[in-house]
Each structure stands twice: as C-alpha cells, then as structure tokens.
A and B are shown apart, each in its own frame.
Chain A
Amino acid sequence: MTSLTSARASAPAIQIENLHKSFGTVHALDGLNLTVPAGQVAGFLGPNGAGKSTAIRVVLGLLRADSGSVRLLGGDPWRDAVAVHRRLAYVPGEVSLWPNLTGGEAIDLLTRLRGRADRRRKAELLERFELDPTKKTGTYSKGNRQKVALVAALASDVDLLVLDEPTSGLDPLMEAVFTDYVRQATSEGVSVLLSSHILSEVEKVCDTVTIIRAGRAVESGTLDELRHLTRSAVSAVVDTDPGSLAALPGVHDLQVTPTQSGNRVTFDVENTQIAGVLTALGTMGVHTMTAAPPSLEELFLRHYGDGVDAADSARPVAQARG
C-alpha cells in the first residue's frame, strides 16, 4: 500500500511532451505538452476540434503518436496498454454501448473487465445518479448512457480517471453529484484528467488547467497562476470625472455613466497594474467599489473568443469606446 501511495506521489499520472499526431493532412496535435500530477485533478480545456479527444485517445493507446513522448502511470500507453488500463477508468465524450444489453449489464461488464467489481458501490452510484439499470442501453438518452459509463468508472477501484467531457449530457443536479464523486476520488489519492468546455466545472474541481488550441497547449498552470495572467473587472461610483483613468497603464475598456449619486465607471485592469489604479481611484471620492477576479470564462474567451490572434485588432476599438 505504501509503495503504491509513494508511486502515486512521485511520478505524474500522465506526462505528455511535444506530442504530434496527424490524420492525413490534418495536424490534430502539434507539439502538445500536458501533465496530470499524481493525486490531482487536471483540467483540459479547449473548444471543439482543438485536439482534446485525440490527445486522450493517444493517452489510452487507441491512437499511435507520430512523435513525442507519452507516459501513462509509469508505462507506455501503446506498448503497455493492457497493464496500464487495469489501473484507469475512461469515460468517453460520446458513450456508445451494446444496444441489447441493459445499463446494469453494461456496468457489470465494464467493472468486471477492469477487475474487482463492487456491487454495493454500484448500487450506491445507481441511486445517486438516479439511473434505471433495467433498461436496454439502446433506449437510453445521451445523458443516461453517460451515467452508465460514469457509474462503471466510479465503481472501479483505479488510480486514474480519464474523463472526456463527462457531464455534457447531465443536468445540473447530476453535475453536482459528479463533482462530489470527483472530490471523493481525489481525497482517496486518485488522479483525474478532466476534459471539458464547461468552465465552471473545471473551476470547481480542478487543481491545474491546461488550455489547448489547435493541437497545442496555449496556457497551463494552476488556476491562481492563470488568473495572474489576466485582468480584474472593476466597477466604482466616484464624485469626479474618472476619464483620466483610461490613460493609466493596464486599464482597458473604460466606460463612464453618470448616475444620481455620481459617475459610475467600469473597466478591466491587468492584475500587475492594480496598485496604480487604486491610488488614482482613491483621489476621486469613491462611493462604492467592486473588483471581481476573472472567471475562467474570461480566460477562455481571451483565447477562443476574439482570441489572442484577434486581440491586437480588437484593442483600438475597445480603447475608442473607453
């Protein structure tokens, strides 16, 4: 037991370095780096087609890497597939099941093939996820098929969970149940790779985040580290004209609206420049002020909305407004 725990603590569960994978002329993965530290939940964010599922399939040994190195639970995902798969459970983004099996039968098959099926755990999970195991999987909705794969994964005793957009078909209540179980799993030392484009979910459970775009990681680190890269949204009501704030370094998208109690000003400020802005605000007779940390939503939009590429051209427009 101790040796297992120390193994978990020492080496990352997944380590991907400079991974390339092409399908014909399409370069799906273009030098991807990704690490899932042992015992942690790593978020894997990206828009559709960014290469998330391709990366996961390489990690699972379903696809063969063109170049680069991938280590999975200390083994090679292609060569040692069977051995490493004993220690992980996978929930695909689009769950396909055998139509003539019931949900309960599919769960039993999956857990038995992973070894160590636990009937009580299965019963508990079925109840928490409100899944009827007696229906044929052919009649399940997308969400219910996803629940089958989730129950089978969470009922297995493994070291690593690989979850590809696991909640995309679940309602908010079931998402909460899912979050509970992920937390429970990490408290037991299980490592988790969670791909998603539901940012609030990643914010809730992930220790680290890697943002992928066009087959390569564009941001990576803990949530706190990533927030340092970004801006806070400030809103304040002041006595004097706050227009001069726009000239300060690090201030973007400044807007002023006169109100009965003064001038309402809203703007974004780069976190490294926040001290200078607060000093300037202090001289303006502040009535109220709020500063919100950036949500992952904003992080994400910066990369995929108008995006990094469009940032330069978008900037003058924003300044003109402010």
Chain B
Amino acid sequence: MMTTTTIRPLASTESSQESGGSTLTGTWQLVRFIVRRDRVRLGVWTVSVAGFYAYFTFALDTLFADPVAQQGRAAVMETPAGIIMGGPGYGMDDYTTGVAMANEGITWVVLALAIMSILHVVRHTRAEEESGRAELLRAATVGRHAPAVASLITLGVVNAVIAVVSALTMVAIGDLPLVDSFAMTVGSALSAVVFGAVALVLCQVTAHARAATGMSLAVFAVAFVVRAAGDMREVGGSALSWLSPIAWAQQMRAFVDLRWWPLLISVTAIALLLWLASALASHRDFDAGLLPARKGRADARSSLRSPISLAWLQQRAPLGWSCLGLGLMWFASGTMLPDIDDMVGGLVQDNPAVAAIFGDNPDQFTLGFLGVLMLYGAAACAAYAIVMGHAVKGEESAGRAEVMLALPVARTCWLAAQLVVAGLGAAALLAVSVYAVWLGTVAVDGGGPGAGEYTAVFVGYLPAVLVYLALTAALYGWMPRAAGVGWALLAYSFVIGMFGGLFEDLPEAASWISPFFWVSAAFTEELSWPAFVGLTTTAGVLFLLALVGLRRRDIGTA
C-alpha cells in the first residue's frame, strides 16, 4: 500500500521558482545585512581613499606646478627605484599632475583597495564560517553561494562608489580631465576587485580566515613584484608586466593616450576567478577547506614556560613580516639617493614650500631627503609599537588575560612581559628600517652618511618610538577605551614633523607634544642627549603608570 500521509514535496517546482530556491537564495537579504554591519567601516575606506586622491592631487598641483619641477620628478620616476615605487612611465616628456597621478598613484591606490577588498571578502565568507556565525545563516533559507555572492556584490558597489567619488575629487581639486580621471579610478577599482576575487578562491582552499588573508596578500605582493620587474625591462612595460592585475589599470594610459580595453582583462579575470571559486565551493563541506589542517606539536618546547616566552611566541610572526616588508621598502628608498640631489635642487629653487620640507641649503638636500625618510621610518615603527600595545588590550578582551592572571602570574609581570617584547620588537624594527636605508645607499654607491651617523639617528628616534608604546600601554592600564589616542598623537606628530615648517603662524608649543619634535634632525644636528634622556624618562614613567594602572583596575573590562 502506498503511503497515505501527505508530506509536502520538498522541491515542488512551484515553490522553488517562486522563492528562487537555488544556491543563491537570500543573497539580497545578506547584501543588506553586510551594508548594515559595515556601513561605518566601508564609509571610512571610501573617505580615506578619496582623501588620498585629494591629497596627492593637491600636493602635485602645488609642489610641482611648473614644468621644471615636473621634469625633475619625472627624472626620478625613470630610475629603477622610481619604477618600483611608481609605474610603467607613460607620458614622461610632459609630466603634469594627471600623468604623475596615473604613473605613481595607481600602484598605491590598488594596494589600498586590494587590502580593503581582501579583508572584506574574507570577513564576510571564511571568517563567518570559522566563527560559526554563518552556520546560523546557512541553516536558514540561505543558499550555499549566497554569502560569497553577497560579499562580492557589496565589494563591487563600494569600489564603484569609491571610483566615482575619487574621480570627481580629482576633477574638483586638480581640474583634471573627467574621462581620464574616471578611467584611472575605475581601472584601479577593478584591479582591486580582481584581488577580492582571488581572496574568494583562497577562502575555499583554506579553512582559516587568517590564512586566506595572508595568502591573498602574498598574491598581491607577487603581483607588485611582477609588475615592477616587468616595467623595469622597458618603458611602458613588457609582456611580464601584463601578468599583474596592477598593470591592467596602469596600461589604460590615463591622462596620456587613454585606451579602455585593458578593463576587459580585469573583467574577464574576475569572471574566471568567480567561476573557479564557485566550482571549488561546490566541492567542499561547510567550515572545511580543500587543504587539510596542519598538525602542530603535541608538547610545548621546554622554553615555553613564562609570560615572556609566550609574548615572544605571539609577536614574532608580525615582527618578522614587518621587518621583511619595511626592510625591503626602505632599502629600495635608499637606492633612490643618487637621483635626489638634482631633483630636490631644482625643486627648492622654484618652490619655497619644498624648501620648508627639505631645507634650503643646497649641500644638504640629500641629507634633508634622508631625514624625511628617517621620519617616515620612525613613524612606521611607532605605528608598529601602537599596534603591539593594542594587542595587549586584545588579549584582555579575548579573555586570554583572564586565563593568564588566574595562574600564579602577577599582573605587572604579565603586562611587563608583553611590553618588553613589544619594545624590543619596535627597537629591532627601527634598526632594520634605519640600516636598510643605509644599505640601499651603499648598494648604489650613492655616498651620503656612514653607518655611524645612521646609528645616531637610531639612538635618537628609539626613545620617541617607545613613548608611543608606553603611552598606549598607560592608557590601556588606566582607561582601556581610550587606548586609541596613541594613533591620534602619531598622526598629529607626523603632520607636524612633515609640514610643521609650512605653518608659519603655528606656535612652537604646538609641536611640544610630538615625541618626534624633540628628536634632533637626522644627519644635520648632533644627537641631543638631554632630549634622549627626557624622552627615555617619559617612556619609563608611562610604562610604570601602565603597570600601576593595571594593578588597580578590574580585569575583563577592556
């Protein structure tokens, strides 16, 4: 006898058509959900990238207004280092603002947008699965591919918004041609979406959000190197360049001899990557990757028995990567030294604003340039120090501080261990940055100061960098919610250090709160020991305050 119970058929053709009962069901709701969750985050990205366009356009327009200055800049961009940091070198004979924007800016805009795209895709696909939140959604009427497609739709929209806003910004500030401006911003945005699509593929391969992010960033690094190596071979790029998505935006030749068809390569690549991601996604289980999870040690090394060895284990990976990345970057910057003299010399004659930054003594342009590099390097190390200071707060909000402090480990001992490792890490990173510039100058035989003078710079900046760590720690100890103030101080110090000379009305006292203000000018002034002692004392006092603060307050409130 046939069954007489009436169970509604699961996939009646009627219902599946009406509700779109496919692997994409629920995409639209997820899109709205992502917009709701990330409106601030994406808003900040939009404003920041548009701000970069605005700043870069304005700076080029102001500092490189006349043809002599422009050709000086073009000469630098034709050097190997200029090509690595810049672009393929279209329009070098008439290096106006738009040409310079396209040649030098695209790499960095794509970098920023690619990071945004990678983080966005990983955050809304793999990270959601890993945290278990996606399980709730997927158990509801949400199709298998819906989260991935929703993350890409939102990614496309935010990149489009950024492209439009940025293009209008360039037109408004630099009075640049509208069509070329759009070509540049749209090309850059599409290149970035390519990296977002790469991230989506890698999210299927690995089961861990951090691994997916790291692998995607590595793909970007390879694309960066391939583009640079390709462009070194000949002006306008070689066949090798075309393997890199960054080149696809640059090869549109915006502001020089615009062509649109390279956009098609980006679009095709995105389509292929999406097809690949979809095929891979259909072959894996929820919360699983295609790569098996790696096994680790069953027993800890005998050295892992103290808060300080744990802090080292936690911080060594970020420190290692920072040293490698910043070291290579500063080394490349150092190799630009021989070309600097001519460029800056020409600029300073024509433009008092440049003189305010690099100094107006012709003998010291190189030193001025190196001094600016040192400030950049120290600021990057200060940023590292602030991040590591924040990581301590992260330990507490994640609940790991609670585990640690329920052991026979004093609060001061735990915090000091974290800070000592962070401080030594920041010092190591500063040493790597400073000496990498020196090695760069030595590698091209560019003259300039010797190792001893770089050591003086290192010694001068070290306590200033540590002040940022100590300040973040002290805020963490007393007012964990205000721990982000360190970033505000760094931004302020950087602007004062870089452009303080431009603001003639600025009272000197406004510079005093910047730790960098007290550091003697690199290479041109003697190392100031009173400043060294003062900054060291400040850092020391703030460290002590941090320890005292943490002893007093409740744990688990950060």
Contacts and interface: CB of A to CB of B under 8 A. Distances in A.
Do these two chains interact? yes
Given A92-B402, A94-B399, A134 B410 contact: no
Nearest to A110: B407
B409 interface: yes
Interface in A44-103: 57, 60-64, 81-83, 85-86, 88, 90, 92, 94-102
B406 A90 contact: yes
Contact of A98 (B298, B314, B411): B314
Given A134-B296, A139-B208, A110 B408 contact: no
Task: Indicate the member of B299, B314, B400, B553 with the most A CB atoms within 10 Å.
Answer: B299
A87 B295 CA distance: 33
Interface stretch (A111-119, A210-218, A231-239, A264-272): A111-119
A105 interface: yes
A102 B400 contact: no
Contacts of B404: 113
A138 B400 CA distance: 13
B403 A95 contact: yes
Chain A residues touching B, range: 35 or more
B305 interface: yes
Contact of B409 (A82, A139, A162): A82
Contact of B296 (A64, A90, A96, A135): A135
A64 B551 CA distance: 10
Given A100-B313, A105-B304, A112-B305, A83 B408 contact: yes
B16 to A, nearest CB: 34
B554 interface: yes
A108 interface: yes
Interface string B298-313: 1110001111001001
A191 to B, nearest CB: 16
B405 interface: yes
B400 A105 contact: no
Contacts of B556: 57, 62-63
B299 A105 contact: yes
Given A85-B406, A96-B403, A134-B296, A109 B554 contact: no
A104 B300 contact: yes
A316 to B, nearest CB: 42
Nearest to B304: A109
B300 A108 contact: yes
B410 A96 contact: no
A93 B556 CA distance: 13
A82 B300 contact: no
A92 B399 contact: yes
B313 A101 contact: yes
B377 to A, nearest CB: 28
Nearest to A133: B298
A2 B317 CA distance: 49
A13 to B, nearest CB: 15
A113 B403 CA distance: 11
A86 B407 CA distance: 7
B557 to A, nearest CB: 8
A53 B120 CA distance: 35
Nearest to A99: B210
B555 interface: yes
B398 interface: yes
B37 interface: no
A113 B407 contact: yes
A139 B398 CA distance: 16
Given A92-B402, A113-B305, A105 B408 contact: no
Given A105-B296, A109-B310, A63 B555 contact: yes
B408 A62 contact: no
A134 B299 CA distance: 8
A202 interface: no
Contacts of A109: 300, 304-305, 310
Interface string B99-135: 0000000000000000000000000000000000000
B347 interface: no
A63 B555 CA distance: 6
Interface majority SS (helix, strand, loop, mixed), chain A: mixed
A227 interface: no
Task: Indicate the member of B300, B314, B410, B552 with the most A CB atoms within 10 Å.
Answer: B300
A136 interface: yes
A102 B297 contact: yes
B293 interface: yes
Nearest to A136: B296
Contacts of A94: 399
A57 B404 CA distance: 13
A109 B152 CA distance: 42
Nearest to B317: A100
Given A62-B556, A63-B554, A134-B298, A97 B403 contact: yes
Nearest to B316: A100
Contact of B406 (A60, A112, A119): A60
B314 A108 contact: no
B207 interface: yes
A119 B437 CA distance: 49
A98 B293 CA distance: 17
A85 B307 CA distance: 15
A251 interface: no
Contacts of A138: 208, 210
A85 B296 contact: no
A113 B297 contact: no
A154 interface: no
A194 interface: no
Interface string B185-224: 0000000000000000000000110100000000000000
A193 interface: no
Contacts of A32: none
Contacts of A110: 403, 407
A81 B297 contact: no
**5 nearest A-B pairs in the assembled complex, by CB-CB distance:** A96-B399, A108-B300, A102-B296, A90-B406, A105-B300
Given A62-B406, A82-B409, 15 more contacts: A57-B554, A62-B554, A81-B410, A85-B407, A92-B403, A96-B403, A98-B314, A101-B300, A105-B300, A112-B300, A113-B305, A134-B295, A135-B293, A136-B294, A139-B293
Interface of A: 23, 57, 60-64, 81-83, 85-86, 88, 90, 92, 94-102, 104-105, 108-110, 112-115, 119, 133-136, 138-139, 149, 162
14 contacts: A23-B557, A81-B405, A88-B406, A92-B403, A98-B313, A99-B210, A100-B313, A102-B296, A114-B407, A133-B299, A135-B296, A136-B296, A138-B208, A162-B406
